[in-house]
Structure 1
Amino acid sequence: MATLPPPKMRVLLLLLQLLLLAAASRPCPRPCSCPQPAELHCTFRSLVSIPSGVSSEVERINLGFNSINKMTDRSLAGLRKLELLMVHGNDLHSLPDGAFRDLTSLQMLKMSYNKLSQVSRRTLQGLWSLARLHLDHNRLEFLHPDTFQGLTSLRVLQLEGNRLRQLHPATFTTFSLLSHFHVSTLRHLYLADNGLTSLHPGLLEAAPLLENLQLHGNPWNCDCHMSWLRDWHNNSPG
């Protein structure tokens, strides 16, 4: 016959079970809806900031089409299981350094249709699992050469509809070898409808996996300095 634990131990076990139950049944932040325990839907809620009290167990968050105008480096803290984050159609002008540092499981980030003017070298730190990044239709004028450094899972990058005029040759590098050999893991790159007049050849030399490159809607200088792009297009796998 199994012996029962002492009374104090039974009380501690009961308290632990209650704490676990409370964590699992954490209420859905108002005014959002949670159709599934791992989902948080907050579209069209007139939000001006990211809701607080989001469960650390959440895997998908949709904050699209609100009036969110500020994000702090703690707005998304602790969301290590988050796989999808959509903050499109808001009023964000900037993103703080380290805003996504806890989102190590995030695979898709959609920041389309905001008012971002730049992304710094530390903005995207921690997004090691990110495969798709949507920064299209913002006001981006500058991308630091190390903006995407460390995003070794990145395959799709959408930057169309911004105000980019120049791109450093190392802009799309996702990892470097010995600080000299720069490599990009991108397969799909969208640069349409910006203000680009030329591209440095090194920009694509470091992207051996690139299959799809969208460049239409830019005021290109079609001279001999751009002839390399025709050769790249003819030899590209896409």
Structure 2
Amino acid sequence: MNIFLLFAPLVCLFGSSYQRCISTVATTECDAASFSRGHPVKLDSYRNFVQFKGSNIEEIPSGTFRLLPEVSSLYLSFNTIKKLEPGSFDGLPKLSQLVLNHNSLEIIVNGVFRDCTNLRMLDLGANKIKTIERSAFSELINLEEIVLSFNQLESVPESVAVLVKVKKIDLSNNKIKSVESNVFTKLNSLEVLSLESNKIRYVQDDAFKGLNKLQEINLKDNYLSNLNAANLINNLKSLKTIKLSINDFVCKTLKAIIDEFEARNIKVTRGVSKADVTINGIACKLQ
């Protein structure tokens, strides 16, 4: 018999309310209606990968998971979570992956991740996040990947500046209007940065200063009409690929930008536009 097809029902205790969980060889999946303050989740047994998905969870009180110290991956996607508070993820010393996408979060306050020093991946995508407090990520000293796509951010959050080990940041599909100077300065481990599908009209000089290991940057689908390629090249010593399609370039400007990047062996990803006027498959304006 294939052991991966074996299921074991578990009883989960949420305060005085019993919930049903199912464990496979690798995961424990629970159907929780809500989490109660003062009543941490208690499982008789569980896997390292625990999932509470597609329920009606609206908030995560402090200490909710403190009786699950062996959990390394926690999935809370496709709920209706509106509120996280300081200590929401306390008691998870082995947590390396936390997925909170497809919820209704609007703000990330300081202290939510204060006990998550071993977290490697954090997914906050597809929420309604407008604000991330300055020190919200201060304890994430080992984080390597953060997903903030499909939110309502209007600028690059200052809170990312402390993520000194992060290798990948996804800020696509927000409402970011510009990229300010030195906003990423301390992120000298960053390798991939996506700012695709925002409302970016300009990138200030030295916006990417300090990103010595950055290999790929995605500026596709914005409102850029110019870009200081020389400044980017000077700051991004390891850059291999840049994506620039679906912007607002005049053809002469676009050609000069592409030529400058390609002269330094940096690939400008070819676009797929079917417009009458294109350069490298990227639509542009004659004037």
Give the percent of matched residue pairs that are identical in Structure 1 and Structure 2: 24
8 Å CA contact 2:110–2:133 kept in 1: the answer is yes
Structure 2 residue runs without a partner (length 5+): 1-9, 29-45, 233-256, 268-287
For 1:85 and 1:137, locate their aligned partners in 2 and report how far apart those are by CA, in whole Å. Answer: 17
2:82 aligned with 1:69: yes
- Per-residue CA deviations over 1:38-80 (Å, capped at 9, x if unaligned) read 2210111121123724512211100001100000012111222
- Report the CA distance shift for 1:234/1:77 in structure 2 as closer, same or farther (over 3 A): farther
Task: Tell me the residue number matched to 1:150.
Answer: 162
1:14-25 equivalence runs, <5 A: none
By percentage of residues, which structure has more helix?
A: 1
Amino acid at match of 2:210: A
Residue deviations 1:90-129, cap 9 Å, x none?
0000011121121000000000000001223201111011
Map 1:61-210 to 2 at 5 A: 61-145=74-158, 147-174=159-186, 184-210=188-214
Question: What is the alpha-carbon distance in structure 2 between the residues aligned to residue 233 and residue 112 of structure 1?
Answer: 33
Taking structure 1 as reference, are residues 68 and 130 closer, same or farther at Cα in structure 2, changes over 3 Å only?
A: same
> How does the TM-score come out when normalised to structure 1?
0.76
Q: Which runs of 5+ in 1 are unaligned?
A: 1-24, 175-182
Partner SS, residue 192 of structure 1: coil
Q: Which moved more, 1:189-198 or 1:118-127?
A: 118-127
Deviates more, 1:25-34 or 1:62-71: 25-34
RMSD, aligned CA? 2.5
Q: Hey, what does 2:53 align to over in structure 1?
A: 43
CA deviation after TM superposition for structure 1 residue 205, in Å:
3.0
Structure 1 residues 129, 108: CA separation in 2 closer, same or farther (over 3 Å shift)?
Answer: same
| Cα shift at 1:148 | 2.0
TM superposition score normalised by structure 2: 0.64
Match of 2:228 in 1: 226
Report the Cα distance in structure 2 between the residues aligned to 1:58 and 1:77, rounded to whole angstroms: 12
Q: Sort the Cα spacing of 1:233 and 1:93 in 2 relative to 1 into closer, same or farther, 3 A.
A: farther
The 3 A distance-change label for structure 1 pair 53 and 118 is: closer
In proportion to residue count, which structure has more strand? 2
Aligned AA (1:161)? N
TM-aligned CA distance change 1:138 to 1:233, over 3 Å: farther
For 2:88 and 2:201, locate their aligned partners in 1 and report how far apart those are by CA, in whole Å.
Answer: 38
- State how far apart, in whole Å, the 2-side matches of 1:137 and 1:188 are: 17
Relative to 1, partners in 2 of residues 1:237 and 1:221: Cα closer, same or farther, differing over 3 Å?
closer
